[in-house]
Chains A and B, each alone.
Chain A
């Protein structure tokens, strides 16, 4: 029996080894794949079993976790409701996370490798493992001013600190209630999502950074910058500004919004052309400079670049190979020029920041649950868009826009404000977009802002009437702070 017993033992060993091999396959080799399977509740339950870290503005939470009695232990709450959606996004059982909830998930959930030691300490100390904190660069007052300014309108506001690129305000309107999207009741979440999805105003669209619009006359700032940088023009250069400009190679006449000449004898200075937003002068200028010069200038301000703030920003575009007629239109921000609101705020900020474009960012600091900082915002130069001298000249021209031109609504008593209005037509039959970009105080700006209001009238004054006051309110909020 000894021999057969040994063989039997061998057989049983084979069975046990087969089990060990299979265990290793399931628990090690296939583990990641299994954990990532849709419908694996464990992944979800773990996520929700930890207290997710808050997202802060200054020291106040705009997203935080509260304990519940349900099987998903922590519920995400957004105390300010709809106001900060563009930045925070939501954290949904059904639809996953968006906004900073998504991009900063590793910190907020506590899974970030840098939090490993911290996590172990908490485990061994018998404390619950918590997520880290994300502090945004947002300014509560600026955000509120933008939010209130856009109430009842469709549009977006972005404010930037010119010297650093910190995003001070990022507002979308219409917005939605992230609390309802983050509910643990899947049915309610699905219903709310369907409702939002069906809304023609697209409340889920992150307008400040994800939607590009034709920038209209605000793009004249870019054209003016290209003109000064070319060395061929100064603010005082006299350029043609007739009542209409015949687009080269066509018989289409591009009119001024006033329908009149921009100056005596159809001539005007560059500074005056910007102040009164003279279309014909800038269309002419565009062709004088050429599309390559315009594109280079636009790229130095951040066009054609996909920024991550760390939220992904839609790429702003300058048309690739326009003919002379198209170049003329592009020079006044029409044709295929497209810019996010953030991009136009960057243009204003770069002019104010002595011509230096800063990389935009919205995360001021990430920190461990015990508030030890992990990473702090580090201002980063993106490009030198203009020389300081030319930037100063352009600033002067933009001050003229507000003090004596089309941008009167952005005037702040006692503070010099540089700005530019715009009204962009998206197409013939659709209402236009009212723009305003500005920075203040003009000589050493603390804030640059861009406002885009959709469904505005077709009149150039709408930029001043609709967007200007909002820009002013946001700047005042920052300057008062």
Chain B
């Protein structure tokens, strides 16, 4: 794919022959928007028997936003992967439709209890989508070359750790729904961990590019696995410690598992040493056991996971309701607005996947998993094709985050693994999560644009040489 260094005019021709695929993206976005709008209308008809007024507002806002972000990509990252944006948009609109559906359930409940109807979470979510989309456009605008991010390696690292630990700061952190994940500034609550994962990935990628040669060194082998040198164990232990600290701070496993899993995954990809995976898993087991003995809420989570029906009316209520929802949906689902996803507490956040499973059935749930798989696959493909190690590690990191988060959340709500509190990327109601994931999407687009873009005419010869040699 890399074009040879050739004189000016021919480069122009080469560039025009490399398709940007922006029209594919536009067509897919239009399709996504149509399907999403249809979903919103069906939700309204199914649950409220009328088209609630917010529906048209949300359809309008999302249409304008998708068009806007598409134009931004056309301008700022014309060679970006054409599937990433539509896939993320599809997940986002599906999430908004489900949140709108839960809004209606809330409104009906409020009407039945003669209390005031709560505000529209779907509208809020559409506005957060706007914030996310604008942030994504800004990232594309400011970060014209992702390699520039490498300049601030340790600043990213520090920022990430600070963000992770921010909820511990007295007066700033607030506990919502039993989890200490939030900070409050004025009227706004924010989950800093969501942004932490964005910057920590940048840090890890940058750091590992510098140190990976060293970290790949082995002195001797045990059972066919190269053992890293003792002095190279520092970084992984530090990250492990930070993850444990995070868990202690948040009283929740989710973020810790994600951060640590992210680092171990990236470390493995950077060094190609399986011993890092073994070590990582060992440390995770130790951490898990430690957490189990230290924190009663972890014990509760495990206990509920083993036999949720024994606690169907207390700690296990949520997971049991979630399972009932999935079962009620069956293969084809109850249909938009025809299930009872509101019976699952916090269905719009952690448990939005159960709502999908209930109303759209196994078919819909599979579709969501496949959409995430597509996004992850596009990211990994970008990593494979990337000519610079930093870009490759960066998108790999984001692929790992998406994969782990989806697995931990979806596995939790289906009782595959104990449930831990994490949001579903692009789908769960909540500003921090949407903002963070749209920034991630922007960075994925940025790197993929870089990968697919024909080489500029003038490059430093040594760079170009390195690049050609480095191709597999």
Contact = CB atoms under 8 A, between A and B. Distances in A.
Interface of A: 1-5, 7-9, 12-13, 15-16, 18-20, 22-24, 26-28, 30-35, 37, 39-43, 45-46, 69-71, 126
Contact of A26 (B313, B403, B414): B414
B414 A23 contact: yes
Interface in B326-348: 326-331, 339-340, 343
B396 A8 contact: yes
Interface residues of B, number: 52
B208 to A, nearest CB: 11
A5 B357 contact: no
A43 B343 CA distance: 12
Contacts of A1: 269-270, 272, 383, 389, 392
B380 A41 contact: no
B414 A19 contact: yes
Nearest to B358: A42
Contacts of B365: 23, 27
8 contacts: A3-B272, A8-B268, A12-B376, A16-B372, A19-B410, A27-B327, A31-B327, A69-B112
Contacts of A41: 324, 340, 343
A23 B362 contact: yes
Contacts of B45: 126
Nearest to A13: B373
B323 A18 contact: no
B355 interface: no
Given A4-B272, A5-B383, A28-B330, A16 B362 contact: no
A4 B384 CA distance: 10
B265 interface: yes
Nearest to A26: B326
Q: Which 10 A-B pairs have the closest CB atoms?
A: A34-B327, A12-B403, A22-B416, A31-B327, A15-B407, A27-B362, A4-B272, A26-B326, A42-B328, A4-B269
A4 B376 CA distance: 16
Secondary structure of the B contact surface, majority rule: helix
Given A1-B272, A2-B472, A71-B112, A27 B357 contact: yes
A217 B362 CA distance: 65
B442 interface: no
Contacts of A46: 328
Contacts of B331: 27-28
A1 B386 CA distance: 11
B388 to A, nearest CB: 11
Interface string B36-52: 00000000010000000
B65 to A, nearest CB: 28
B90 interface: no
B399 interface: yes
A115 B470 CA distance: 67
B270 A23 contact: no
Nearest to A126: B45
Nearest to A35: B327
A22 B411 CA distance: 8
A18 B407 contact: yes
Nearest to B270: A1
B311 interface: no
Nearest to A2: B472
A8 to B, nearest CB: 6
A42 B309 contact: no
A45 B338 CA distance: 11
Given A16-B369, A43-B328, 10 more contacts: A4-B269, A12-B380, A12-B403, A15-B406, A22-B411, A26-B415, A35-B327, A35-B328, A42-B339, A45-B340
A23 B411 contact: no
**Residue from A18, A19, A22, A32 whose CB has the most chain B CB atoms within 10 Å:** A19
Interface in B60-102: none
Interface string B404-427: 101100110011100000000000
Contact of B330 (A22, A27, A37): A27
A39 B406 CA distance: 29
B224 to A, nearest CB: 15
B27 interface: no
